[in-house]
């Protein structure tokens, strides 16, 4: 009698979301609403709360703005390193809030 062992399927990380993927997706976007829509169009579940976007409940992207400069800090909610910092756009506060001057 021969024992038949099924061959396991190869592991895939296609459904795994990382801070790096989120950082690459929103790196050049300085408006939080546009960044949220871009993440949703990429297939993620994104929710805005104040200056942060929570992505699929596991990644958080925080929009930081000071003295006309803005950037994103993206990290895993569970504290797993690394923290990604992307952006560095020059802009006015009215651009950041989506207002028209």
Res 65: pLDDT: 87
What pLDDT score does 72 carry?
95
pTM: 0.73
Count the Cβ atoms, other than its own, within 10 Å of residue 27: 17
C-alpha to C-alpha distance for 37 and 30, rounded to whole angstroms: 12
Count Cα neighbours of 78 within 13 Å in the Cβ-side half-sphere: 5
Digit-by-digit pLDDT tens for the chain (101 residues) are 676 776 666 655 666 789 999 999 999 898 899 999 999 999 999 999 999 999 999 999 999 988 878 899 999 999 999 999 998 665 555 554 544 44
User: What is the pLDDT, as a whole number, of residue 67?
Assistant: 80
Burial of 6 by CB count in 10 Å (0-12 exposed, 13-18 middle, 19+ buried)?
Answer: exposed
Cβ contacts of 60 within 8 Å, gap of 6 or more: 52, 53, 54, 74, 75, 76, 77
pLDDT recorded at residue 28? 87
The rounded Cα 40 to chain-centroid distance in angstroms is 10
pLDDT at residue 87, as a whole number: 85
Q: Supply 10's token pair.
A: 């190869």
Q: What is the pLDDT of residue 47?
A: 97
Domain range summary for the chain, segments of one domain joined by +: 19-97
């Amino acid at each position: 009698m021969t024992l038949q062992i099924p061959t396991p399927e190869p592991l895939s990380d296609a459904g795994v979301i990382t801070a790096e993927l989120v950082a690459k997706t929103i790196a050049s976007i300085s408006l939080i609403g546009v960044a949220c829509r871009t993440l949703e169009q990429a297939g993620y579940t994104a929710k805005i709360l104040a200056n942060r976007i929570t992505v699929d409940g596991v990644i958080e992207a925080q929009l930081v703005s000071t003295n006309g400069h803005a950037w994103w800090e993206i990290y895993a909610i569970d504290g797993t390193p690394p923290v990604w910092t992307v952006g560095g756009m020059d802009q006015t506060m009215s651009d950041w809030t989506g207002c028209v001057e």
